[in-house]
Homo-oligomer: A and B are copies of this chain.
Amino acid sequence: MSRYPHPTLQDLPEDIRARILEVQEKSGFIPNVFLALARRPAEWRAFFAYHDALMVPESTGRSSSLSKGDREMIVTATSAANQCLYCVVAHGAILRIYEKKPLVADQVAVNHRKADISPRQRAMLDFALKVCQRSHEIEEADFAALHAHGFDDEDIWDIAAITAFFGLSNRMASFSDMMPNPEFYLLGRVPKQRNP
């Protein structure tokens, strides 16, 4: 499906193969992004290092006031604005799981204004979508709107950086026809034991 053929696991450098096997172990399948980008190991390593620094901040010894669900919500909303199928489906799944809300990903992807989320999350997504679509217009008032919901400047950096990073991811996925694994579509929609 993807325009660029995926490498086989055995042809990959050891560090990349190890991480991929670990993900497969945990998820039950290998998300396509891990294979699609692996054809260029240096880019793969940079991509996942960046990903982890933003999405798993504790892996870098940093804490963050954004929950795991908040982070995935940002990814889902901005990826929908960029019409990226891979990221909406894959991160929508993770969002459902983290937020324990089977409906929230579809809501956030179609129109975040109608989603069953907190006012704090609504403000977070308004900012993320502005960074996504009109980052050159961000100004003081945008920071003030987030401060009013208790976000500090480190949190705002997180929101902007996650948006910016997945804007990169969205463009890579769309241009190369990266397709979401079928497993993602159902994850988090039904109680876990019912998943294969």
Contacts and interface: CB of A to CB of B under 8 A. Distances in A.
Contacts of A54: 43
A46 B46 contact: yes
A29 interface: no
Contact of A114 (B85, B143, B165): B85
Interface residues of A, number: 66
Interface in A92-142: 102-103, 106-107, 109-111, 113-114, 131-132, 135-139
A83 B161 CA distance: 17
Given A54-B43, A88-B106, A113-B137, A190 B185 contact: no
A80 interface: yes
Nearest to A61: B42
A167 B84 CA distance: 15
A74 to B, nearest CB: 13
Contact of A190 (B80, B138, B182, B190): B190
- State the majority secondary structure of interface residues on A: helix
A155 interface: no
B139 A185 contact: no
A175 B160 contact: yes
A143 B177 CA distance: 12
Given A110-B109, A157-B4, A170 B135 contact: yes
Q: Which of A47, A82, A165, A186 has the most CB of B within 10 A?
A: A165
A194 interface: yes
Contacts of A153: 3-4
Contacts of A102: 185-186
Interface in A1-56: 3-4, 40-43, 45-47, 49-50, 52-54
A186 B191 CA distance: 12
Q: Nearest 8 pairs between A and B by C-beta?
A: A46-B50, A83-B136, A164-B171, A42-B60, A42-B53, A46-B49, A135-B174, A160-B175
